[in-house]
Amino acid sequence: MDKPPLMKVAVVGATGMVGGVMLKVLEERNFPVGELLPVASERSAGRTVRFKGEDVPVMDMETAISKRPDIALFSAGGGTSFEWAPRFAEVGCTVIDNSSAWRMYPDKKLVVPEINGHLLTAEDRIIANPNCSTIQMVLALAPLHKAYGVERVIVSTYQSVTGTGMKAVKQMENEREGVEGEMAYPFRIDRNVIPRCDVFTENGYTKEEMKLVHETKKILDPNVRVTATAVRVPVTGGHSEAVNVEFAKEFELEVVRELLRKAPGIKLLDEPTKDEYPMPLVANGRDEVFVGRLRRDETQPRTLNLWIVADNLRKGAATNAVQIAELLVAKEMIARPRVAVR
Q: Is 214 a catalytic residue?
A: no
Residues 267 and 325 occupy one common structural domain: no
Residues 16 and 91 occupy one common structural domain: yes
CB 238 within 8 A of CB 284: yes
Q: What is the CATH number of the domain that holds 109?
A: 3.40.50.720
Residues 215 and 323 occupy one common structural domain: no
| 120: CB partners within 8 A, 6+ apart | 109, 111, 127, 324, 327, 328, 331, 333
pLDDT at residue 44, as a whole number: 77
pLDDT at residue 169, as a whole number: 97
Model pTM score: 0.95
pLDDT at residue 46, as a whole number: 80
Residues 28 and 160 occupy one common structural domain: no
Catalytic residue selected from 132, 145, 197, 214 = 132
Q: What residue ranges of the chain have pLDDT lower than 50?
A: 338-342
Residues 277 and 184 occupy one common structural domain: yes
Residues 116 and 160 occupy one common structural domain: no
Is residue 265 a part of any domain in this protein? yes
Is residue 342 a part of any domain in this protein? no
Is residue 232 a part of any domain in this protein? yes
Residues 82 and 66 occupy one common structural domain: yes
Residues 165 and 262 occupy one common structural domain: yes
Catalytic residue selected from 93, 145, 197, 239 = 239
Is residue 184 a part of any domain in this protein? yes
Is residue 335 a part of any domain in this protein? no
d(CA 233, CA 236): 9
Look at the chain and report how many structural domains it folds into.
2
Measured at the CA of 312, the angle between CA 36 and CA 272, to 5 degrees, comes to 140
Is residue 339 a part of any domain in this protein? no
- The tens digit of pLDDT for each residue in 54-67 reads 999 999 999 999 99
Residues 121 and 193 occupy one common structural domain: no
pLDDT at residue 110, as a whole number: 98
Residues 243 and 288 occupy one common structural domain: yes
SS3 127: strand
Q: Is 132 a catalytic residue?
A: yes
Least Cα distance to 150 among 215, 85, 95, 216 occurs for 216
Residues 86 and 150 occupy one common structural domain: no
Q: What is the CATH number of the domain that holds 241?
A: 3.30.360.10
d(CA 40, CA 37): 10
Is residue 337 a part of any domain in this protein? no
Domain boundaries, position 48: 7-130+318-330
